[in-house]
Amino acid sequence: MRFPNLRGVPSLTKRLNKVQNLLVPHLETDSTFTKSWFWKERTLVFEFGTSYGAKYGIDLVLTDGRATLSVVGRDDPSRYSVRTRLGALGEPIKKSHKRRVKSWQLPISNRDLVLEALASINRVSALMSLEVEVPTRGIPAYWWDEKSNFGDQITPWLIEMMTGRSAYNTMGLPGAGQAVMAAGSIITAMNRGGMTIWGSGLISPLNDSRVSVLKRREPRRITAVRGEFTRAELAQKLGWEVPSTFGDPALLLPSYFKPHLRPESSKLPALVPHYAHRDLLPATSEHNGYETVDVRKSPEIVVSQIANASSIVSTSLHGLIIAQAYGVPWIWLRISDQGLVGDDFKFKDFFSTIEASKVSTAEVTKDELQNLDIPELATRASLPQPQYSADALINAFPFELVPFIPGDYVGSAQTGQ
């Protein structure tokens, strides 16, 4: 059957009714399908709910010229699942939580539309229904993994070294409940409550809308936060009970990971650009008198490179934190007109846990980056005294630690307390 008339809402709604009647009997054989309904006359919505708690809708929208099939998660964890599980399927819709998975130019027969829409819906349902394989005795954790960035990968790596147990990510598991949040500025966008915060931070001061959201997502407990700025925001604006135990968990890495070290005579300064700044900074080689660290590589590689530098110039917060942890002098390269989300907040939060008056900073504009003298900047690096307690941060860890085993575990994970 061809569509003779493609204009007018009543006509479109009538066609959607026909499509619904043809599609629903097939969808009812899928245990994750819950219901279908109309929204604003031109949209037919199919609702799904998975066994791990994700809820999402698949919208079939008819306009005068096109039919479009899109997927949207119904809450933050579900939207995370849609983005990660359907990343290779379709494309994100700008300024929307939806992901478009299929589009047809009209006119098209009801039969063809139903057959093609059903195939796409079944594919979405299959990808969304896949169960996360939870490791035996695995540690439930929570970390951002949508971009390749070593700072985000520190959480599972460190947890596994501290406990001897595999960590698994619960960010896309709405019903996962208890999990540990660790390294990074992940409190701001935490997508559910009931978790344990251990050394995490905010990315910026909390505005009224974010306060309203987070009040509905109170953690199970907070054992430590990254710094005093985060503590003040959580305590004063949310009324949460926040202990005065500070430190990004990455500061503990030297107790668990000891990379092979170069001779002092062969060490060079290293530039550690945030991934958002990588293309702004000059290309480099050892002939330029410094090395560049790619934060998209694994944490073992990035940490080893930073620990083996004579000094660090970094626009990345975790570049500074790792340098501080391994006793490598560092200088914060602040690009005044190319700031990161939250601007200086997360840096000042970290600086509150060290001797802030000794922090070295170089401020430049985007236009000045290509002519930067990195080796000269590196000579201005410093190593502020720590004002955090590594022991207190370890004692605040919410899971049982691997028993300490004496020995020198150079180049591998080393357990300890």
Tokens 């290309």 found at: 283
37/212 Cα distance (integer angstroms): 30
Q: What pLDDT does 265 receive?
A: 84
Tokens 């370890």 found at: 394
152/238 Cα distance (integer angstroms): 25
pLDDT tens-digit profile of 191-201?
999 999 999 99
pTM of the model as a whole:
0.82
- Read off the pLDDT of each residue in 234-255 and give the average, rounded to a whole number: 96
Q: What pLDDT does 247 receive?
A: 97
- Check pLDDT > 50 for residue 128: yes
44/37 Cα distance (integer angstroms): 6
Instruction: Determine how many CB atoms are found less than 10 A away from the CB of residue 328.
Output: 22
Taking each continuous run of H as one helix and of E as one strand, the counts in the chain are 11, 16
Q: Say which range, 12-21, 63-72, 402-411, has the weakest mean pLDDT.
A: 402-411
108/2 Cα distance (integer angstroms): 6
Tokens 């010229």 found at: 65
CB contact set of 36 (below 8 Å; sequence gap of 6+): 20, 23, 24, 27, 44, 45, 46, 47
- Check pLDDT > 50 for residue 409: no
277: pLDDT confidence band, cut at 50, 70 and 90?
low
59/48 Cα distance (integer angstroms): 11
